[in-house]
Amino acid sequence: MIKPRSRRGGGRPTISDVARRAGVGAITVSRALREPERVSEELRRQIQAAVNELGYVPDPNARALASARAEVFGVLVPSLTNNVFAEVVRGIYDSLSASPFRIQLGNTHYSGLEEERLLQLFGSQRPAALIVAGIDQTPPSRKLLESAGCPVVQVMETGPDPVDMMVGFSHLDGGRMATEHLIEAGYRRIGFIGARMDPRSQRRLAGYRAAMEDAGLFDPRLVTTTPVLSSVSLGREMLRDALAKVPTLDGVFCNNDDIALGVLFECHRASIAVPKTIGIVGFNDLDMMQVAFPSITSIRTHRYEIGRRAVAMALAAIAGNRPEQRIVDLGFELKRRESTAR
């Protein structure tokens, strides 16, 4: 019986086509492409020529199937549009673009259950590494991560008990520093305004609370939170709520910069002088913070660098030399600006 040239695939050149053209065995082509130093100079050139002539591109699916390892990094973030995670993803993407690894993106929508589902799904692909945002995985998720059989990097936060590796910073310390800055600047009735109270925001709040208690200024009525997704317009509304509760409010530490911007706009609208009557501090230090009028004090975090670092650590682990420092704290910086310059 005559075997058809190719039953299904669209006639795209395969590794055997290249091998035939170059007059070598298929396996040698495979080697020339993956471990060039193990193939003689001459064959390597011949093979490269055949590859170019045919326009051969290896099929990543066949490769993954044969080697039981996909050249894929699984990346889990809670939001695609939140600029903070977009920056992390950009860092990961840029660091990976020169490598053969692709990115498999998952959006958990801040849901533990969705995270479990995605982890389950990603596991079936035998990824080369997993990068997940946060350190508060549910027990099933944690188990999945531990049995993933690949390097795992938890990003955005640091904590005492990594699944494998970690890159981030302390949100509690960030919240504390922001609050202490307000206190030092002379503010006393300092509110906390936070939307989308995910675990990281909770820790910023804990930092706020610690600082306030240390200064003997804490009052639960100063805290205004909501589970609603954060946005600039929400910041505006929340300042109104906070002022309704505590008319003597003279400062706010915002959960993030979007909220801070909304707060600033509401101050303008209500003719509340910033920083004179109310001081404002944000979190993350988006570009617009330094441009706002008045410019807004914020905690600068290193999102892009976190993404890059996570990839670097994962790649090192894949290459066999696992970094000895498993927890990397990239810290943060307080950017003092006009909004707290009383």
Write out the residues near its own copies by the rule CB under 8 A.
8-10, 12, 57-62, 64-65, 67-68, 70, 80-81, 83, 86-87, 89-90, 93, 97, 102-105, 107, 120-121, 123-126, 149, 231-233, 235-236, 258, 261-262, 265-266, 268-269, 287-288, 290-293
Residues 51 and 14: their CA atoms lie apart, in Å, by 10
Minimum distance of its own copies from residue 304's CB (angstroms)? 9
3 state SS of 156: strand
Put residue 110 in one of left, alpha, beta given phi > 0 → left and psi -120 to 50 → alpha: left
Nearer to DNA among residue 46 and residue 201 (C-beta): 46
- Decide which of its own copies, DNA, none touches 31; Cβ closer than 5 to 8 Å per partner kind: DNA
Neighbouring residues of 226: CB distance < 8 A, sequence distance ≥ 6: 194, 195, 196, 197, 234, 238
Q: Which stretch binds DNA (CB under 7 A): 1-9, 127-135, 264-272, 309-317?
A: 1-9
Q: Which stretch binds DNA (CB under 7 A): 56-64, 188-196, 278-286, 293-301?
A: 56-64
- Decide which of its own copies, DNA, none touches 186; Cβ closer than 5 to 8 Å per partner kind: none
- Decide which of its own copies, DNA, none touches 119; Cβ closer than 5 to 8 Å per partner kind: none
Which helix (H) or strand (E) segment is 279 a member of? strand 279-284
> What is the β-pairing status of strands 223-225 and 190-194?
parallel
- Decide which of DNA, its own copies, none touches 231; Cβ closer than 5 to 8 Å per partner kind: its own copies
3 state SS of 332: strand
Q: Which stretch binds DNA (CB under 7 A): 5-13, 79-87, 115-123, 272-280?
A: 5-13
Neighbouring residues of 240: CB distance < 8 A, sequence distance ≥ 6: 266
Residues 310 and 322: their CA atoms lie apart, in Å, by 12
